[in-house]
Amino acid sequence: MNFPSIPDDLYKLLVIIGAGLIIYSYISQQNEYQNYKNETIKYNSEVRTLNNERQYLEDELDIIEDEADNYSKKYNIKNPVIVSDSGYVFNQTLRGSKNDVRVSDSVASLLSRFKIKKREIKIKDDQLKVQSYVIDEIKADFNETDNFTFWLSIIGTILFSIGVLRWVKSEESKENVMQRQNIFLPTISKCCQSCGIIFNKSIKYGREENGEKNFNFCEMCYSNGTFNEPHLKKEEMFNRILSKINNPKKKEISRIKKKIEGLERWVPEKY
C-alpha cells in the first residue's frame, strides 16, 4: 500500500485522532443507549404499577357493591348501587327513612374514595402517554446517534489504521537506515580481542594497512592490517597471559580461560 509523502508526526496525529473518534463514538453510543434503556425500564415499571392500581380499583368496586348489598339486606332496603359492564349507577337517598339515608351516606363515602382513586389513575395514565412520546423521541435520537457514531467509528478506524501502518513503516525505514549506517561504523571494543588487555592511554589500538585504527586489537597483537603472530594458538595465548601471574589460583585460571574463549580472535572460523 502506497502512502503519500507527508511528515511522520502527521501519521502519529492520525493515530491519536482515529483513536479519539473510536472512543468518542463508543462512549456516545453507550450513553444514548443507557439513557433509552433507563427511560424504558422506568416507563414499563410505571405501566405495571398503573395496571395493578386499575385492577385494585375494579376489585374495590366489587367490594363497594358487596357492601351496598349487605347494607340493603341488613336494613331491608333497595340496593342503592347497580354495577354493570358499562360502569355503576348509584341512587343516592337524600331524604327518606333513617335507614335509607344511613346506607346512602355510607355507600357515598365509599364511592367518593373510589372516584378520587379513579381520577388519580386517569392523571397517571395521561402522564404515561406523555412519557411514551418522550421515549419515542429518545429512541429516535438513539437511532440517529447510533447511525452517526457507526460511521464516525468507521472513519476513526480508517484513520487509526493508516496512521499505525505508516508509523510502523516509518519506524522500520529508520531502523533499516540505521542498520545500513552501522555497517560502515567501526566496532569499538573495551579490550583487545586477541590478548584481552584493556585499552587505555598507554595501550594503543592496532593499525590497518592504510594507517587507520583498528578499535578491536591492540598494537602488540595487530599492525599493518594483520596479526603480528598469525599462527599463534589460543592455548599459547592463554599460557602467555597465565605466565604473567604469580601463583594463579584455580578461580583466576578459570576466569582467564573463560575470557580468552570469549575474545573475537579465538571464535571458531572468525579469523
pLDDT in tens, 75-126: 888 877 777 767 777 777 777 777 777 777 888 888 888 888 888 889 888 8
pTM: 0.44
DSSP string, 207-249: E-TTS-EEEEEETTTEETTEESSTT--HHHHHHHHHHTSSS--
Residue 182 has pLDDT above 70, yes or no: no
Residues 194-212 have a mean pLDDT of: 92
CB 108 within 8 A of CB 82: no
Average pLDDT, the chain: 84
Could you tell me the domains of the chain?
8-183 (1.10.287), 205-266 (no CATH)
DSSP assignment letter at 265: G
- Helix H or strand E segment including 87: strand 87-90
